[in-house]
Amino acid sequence: MVIILYIAHKNDNLVQTVKEHCLATAERGEGYSNRQFKKIVYAMGMLHDIGKYQNSFQKKIISDLNSMVEHSTCGAVAAKEKYKDALLLLMQYCIAGHHSGIPDGGYANDTSDMNTLCGRLKREFEDYSVYKKELCLPEINENEFNNFLIDGCSNPKDIIEKFSFVVRYCFSCLTDADSNDTAEFCNGVKNHSLKADFQKCLTKLNNKLSSFVCSTDLQKARSQIQNQVYKKTDLNSEIYLMNMPTGSGKTLCSMKFALERAIKTNKKRIIYIIPYNSIIDQTAELFENLFGNDAEILRHQSSFSYDDTDYTEDYKNVVRLATENWDAQIIITTAVQFFESVYANKRGKLRKMHNMADSILVFDEAHLMPENYLQPCLRVISYITKILGSEAIFLTATMPDFKRLIKEYSLKNSMITDLINDTTLFKKFQKCTFENIGGIDIYNLVARSHSLPSALIVVNKKLVAREIYSLCKGKKYHLSTYMTAYDRKRTIENIKNDLLNLERDYPNYEDVPDERKITVVSTSLIEAGVDLDFYCVFRELSGLDSILQAGGRCNREGKRKNSKVYIFSLNDRKSFLTDNRTNLTEGLLSEYNDISCLESITSYYDRIFFMNRKNIVMNSISEKCSDIRSIPFKTYAEEFEIIGENTISVVVERDNVSKSLIDNIRFAGVANQRDLQKYAFTVYRYEFDELYKQHIVDDFGSGIWCLTNNDYYDENIGVTFEAKDYFIN
């Protein structure tokens, strides 16, 4: 068979040759990549599809045969003829994995039937050498790359970490270039960036900030703390620490600083990273309403779908494409999405990584980075800022000593700047006092809460929250992940309205009738980012950070004096968390008169991180191998899970949209998981087993579990584990 034209893709009567596709991918990838990797990514683009020169692949594509022809490994094998050392290995990981994902490195004795890189490189292929006549590979200085790789590394583990980061970054550039070129030829889909005018957004934000009244001592203190941040917008750094008390306007302040830095340093995008799905809606809506048409904000979270919005179908399609590779100038996402993407091995997640370069990264509630993955999280932030030219802002009201943590567990030469140096004004934001009332039973706890105009009770376990809620009277609300995000959002809006109406009707909170008193019983999901203001808060003993976050829901605007946060333990329920954080907090309660003081917070985190040094490093990729040739990219990505709770999501019908989605699963076995997220509640595995035994959950062969009997779900408390009672008259 004599082939004159070597085809990579067909689209009806049009063909794209292998040469055209490889050259286009190389040029796109070069454009996507950072300066020091441009030639490397270009070379990978030229080599990635040369396996399509094989006769068997050409027969397959010409005759439209439904057969598998391995072609990805060919470029990895051919790279050895031109390149060597670590540079060669980098290319081989990326090229071999550009379809199936970056493979595990494996070992020298792996056989060709194994899917490791070592195993795949031993496979035999048909002749594809014609690529040498059509494609020209660039010269690359291996010594220059080797020097870059060892720069700043003090031991072999540092080299493994840095090399694995560079592999994933270059893989991102290659696969996004490959995906975009293929989509443009085969589907006529051109990449469309979501735009934002940073200068216009900054003007709107400045107008918003200048509209705030600044007359009370608290308002003046807020302005003075924020001005400390604004005065440092000219300081060049890699990581900025923004330690600001609850109620000091952290969200708007951080976005103003991010916009200022993006404009001054010509950054491409701002990525706002939030710890929980449960609080991302509030931040996203704030920025969307503030910036309006001056910013096409991309929201990427599991519980949000653009299909539920009023946007046109054309715009929804644009957004869906932008979600795949984060081709937007302002992105709001979750910490899970961010970190699990940069430590992935598949193109579906890693495509977006190259668009984290030349960006401003804002980590809201930075103290919530998972302890067991703290080193991987800090390392990747340091690499993105040090190697890819981005800047990161750590934002929290309870700031650990990140300077020490970054230098100890990440890069010693990271440039880190404190944006707040004068903390004397923090006392102005102590709008409540914390009092430990010790053990109490749930009946007395409920009685104490009912004596108050509005009260928030936060407990550690969902079943305890439900039990306390059942005892409450008057206006009462329940919040936990037993409820769907759909119902939690509705409940939070109702709570906000009731609290505002209560303050309007009873501005002094005197003589409030029992039927107007408000009690909210919640798990810890209410503690971060939910903008609610209660007369009093009761918080079950837990970690200090959780207790202080709960305190941020008490007297939020500082309008009342002598507001209290009561810390308690339940003597009649097994809901007490006996972990290190809880035990440390109990010790701090006896050590400090005010557990919210900076000394107490510093002491808490110092002890936490000292006690858990082993956990902090245990999940670093360099702990899983001893050489860059055997990095377990695939295995590590599959095990990387920063929220490791043993929970299962179950979808429940809540409206016509959810009914239609469930019907698609039931009758067609297909569904968009992102669309379903807002209609799902979560249960522990043993709780799921109980539902399964009652035959009220089914996945219809799809792997997506659905509640088949809606009598087991209540919109106010979530899944009930037993059906509602019916009385026949």
pLDDT at residue 317 tops 90: no
Report whether 659 contacts 675 (CB < 8 A).
no
Strand 454-458 and strand 433-440: the pairing is unpaired
Measured distance CA(547)–CA(586) in Å, rounded = 11
Tokens of 523: 């798990």
Buried b or exposed e, range 98-118, using 16+ CB within 10 angstroms: bebbbbbbbeeebeeebebbb
Strand 298-300 and strand 269-274: the pairing is unpaired
236-420 placed in CATH 3.10.129.10? no
When the pLDDT of each residue in the chain is averaged and rounded to a whole number, the result is 90
Amino acid 247: pLDDT? 80
As a whole number, mean pLDDT of residues 413-442 equals 91
As a whole number, mean pLDDT of residues 586-592 equals 92
Amino acid 578: pLDDT? 61
Q: Where in the chain is the domain with CATH 1.10.3210?
A: 7-187
* Domain 7-187 classification at class level: mainly alpha
Which DSSP helix (H) or strand (E) runs through 595? Answer: none
User: What percentage of the chain exceeds 90 in pLDDT?
Assistant: 70
User: What DSSP designation does 522 have?
Assistant: E
Tokens of 629: 């040739």
Report whether 260 contacts 167 (CB < 8 A).
no
Max intra-chain CA distance, the chain: 94
As a whole number, mean pLDDT of residues 291-314 equals 68
The closest of 72, 71, 69 to 60, measured between CA atoms, is 69
Measured distance CA(187)–CA(320) in Å, rounded = 15
Amino acid 302: pLDDT? 53
The closest of 622, 621, 626, 620 to 107, measured between CA atoms, is 626
**Architecture of 431-595 per CATH?**
3-Layer(aba) Sandwich (3.40)
pLDDT at residue 92 tops 90: yes
Amino acid identity at 454: S
CA-CA distances (angstroms) from residue 506 to 352, 496, 509, 562?
Answer: 51, 15, 5, 18
What pLDDT digit, counting tens, does each position of 213-264 carry?
Answer: 887 788 888 999 999 999 999 999 999 999 998 888 899 999 999 999 999 9
Which DSSP helix (H) or strand (E) runs through 62? Answer: helix 55-62
Q: How far is CA 400 from the centre of its chain?
A: 20
- The sign one gets for the Cα dihedral 640, 646, 647, 648 is positive
* DSSP symbols for 75-86: HHHHGGGT--HH
Report whether 323 contacts 356 (CB < 8 A).
no
> Any idea what the Cα angle at residue 280 is, between residues 276 and 282, rounded to 5°?
135
- Upper half-sphere CA count for residue 530 (Cβ side, 13 Å): 30
Q: Where in the chain is the domain with CATH 3.40.50.300?
A: 236-420, 431-595
Measured distance CA(592)–CA(597) in Å, rounded = 8
* pTM metric for this prediction: 0.88
Neighbours of 716 (CB within 10 A): 14
* DSSP symbols for 538-583: EEES--HHHHHHHHTTBSTT--SSS-EEEEEEETTSS----SHHHH
Q: How many residues does the chain have?
A: 729
User: What DSSP designation does 626 have?
Assistant: S
As a whole number, mean pLDDT of residues 457-484 equals 94
Report whether 57 contacts 81 (CB < 8 A).
no
Strands (E), 282-422: 298-300, 330-334, 359-364, 391-396, 416-418
CA-CA distances (angstroms) from residue 72 to 106, 283, 385, 407?
Answer: 17, 42, 31, 39
For 551, phi then psi, to 5°, come to -60, -25
Helix (H, G, I), strand (E, B) or coil at 194: strand
- The sign one gets for the Cα dihedral 520, 523, 527, 529 is negative
Region of residue 572 (left: phi > 0; alpha: psi -120 to 50; beta: else): alpha
Helix (H, G, I), strand (E, B) or coil at 111: coil
Tokens of 191: 């990449």
Measured distance CA(436)–CA(123) in Å, rounded = 67
Please name the residue that has the structure tokens 């950054």: 267
What pLDDT digit, counting tens, does each position of 502-547 carry?
Answer: 999 999 899 999 999 999 999 988 876 677 889 999 999 999 999 9
User: What DSSP designation does 35 have?
Assistant: G
What pLDDT digit, counting tens, does each position of 341-390 carry?
Answer: 999 999 999 999 999 999 999 999 999 898 899 999 999 999 999 999 99
What pLDDT digit, counting tens, does each position of 433-445 carry?
Answer: 999 999 999 999 9
> Any idea what the Cα angle at residue 373 is, between residues 37 and 623, rounded to 5°?
70
Measured distance CA(685)–CA(705) in Å, rounded = 13
> Any idea what the Cα angle at residue 333 is, between residues 347 and 364, rounded to 5°?
130
